[in-house]
Amino acid sequence: MEPRKTKVLVVFYSMYGNTAKLAKAVAEGAQQVENVEVSLRQVEELIPKEIIQANERMRKVKEELRDIPLVTDKDLVEADGIVFGSPTRYGNMAAQMKNFIDKTGALWTQGKLVNKVAGVFTSTSTLHGGQETTLITMMIPLLHHGMIIVGIPYAIEPRLFSTEVGGGSPYGASSISGPNSEREPTKNDLEIAKTLGRRVAEIAKKISQK
């Protein structure tokens, strides 16, 4: 009998589109693994509509992301692997992502996310503006949920040795968007993000088929 498809969920928040680009690369990487089904979802926005409408850049990004559905608890429960992406805010995840995670209390009490495989990714404006602190602190609630966190080993992803300006770390995928958040993820950043997606998918598949 054909084994059931492994489900990977990529869930993100993005204000200026950089984390969204990484999310798509993570999803693409996960999709490269055979017999894996990938869903891309975003979390609820907390910024008032009138503020978004008044900002051309934010309005344009919202428009581009319009067709990506909002994540639900059902998406989380059904997934075997979940990759979470958030821009950095003062060295931490964005409130929008934290708000979403804080609403998973019922799943936590029931242990619904125990043993699901997880990974994280982020985008910052600056080189040393908190990529690692964001990635690591994003992992903390996931550990409370009993998720199995997967990083990006140097042995699997030699692009992590690059000394060019760019993202990517053993803790998760990332990009550096510059002071106006206009510097898109580089080719390396996107490849590293794909590696993260592939890795979460491969490990989730192994665990879910046991």
Ligand X SMILES: Cc1cc2nc3c(=O)[nH]c(=O)nc-3n(C[C@H](O)[C@H](O)[C@H](O)COP(=O)(O)O)c2cc1C
By CB under 6 A, is residue 42 in contact with ligand X? Answer: no
Cβ neighbours of residue 108 closer than 8 Å, sequence gap 6 or more? 144, 145
By CB under 6 A, is residue 63 in contact with ligand X? Answer: no
Give the residue with the Cβ less far from ligand X, 172 or 205: 172
83: nearest Cα among 42, 108, 117: 117
Reading the block at residue 112, the tokens are 């619904």
Q: Which of 129, 136, 137, 191 binds ligand X (CB under 6 A)?
A: 129
Q: Which of 56, 90, 105, 158 binds ligand X (CB under 6 A)?
A: 90
By CB under 6 A, is residue 16 in contact with ligand X? Answer: yes
* Shortest spacing between CB 48 and ligand X, in angstroms: 15
23: nearest Cα among 159, 119, 103: 119
Characterise 173 by phi-psi region: left (phi > 0), alpha (psi -120 to 50), beta (else). Answer: beta
Residues 157-196 as x/- pattern, contact with ligand X by CB under 6 A: --------------------x---x---------------
Residue type, 35: N
Q: Which of 8, 11, 17, 192 binds ligand X (CB under 6 A)?
A: 17
* Shortest spacing between CB 110 and ligand X, in angstroms: 31
Separation CA 30–CA 195 (nearest Å) = 8
148 secondary structure, DSSP code: E
Q: How many chain residues interact with ligand X (CB under 6 A)? A: 20
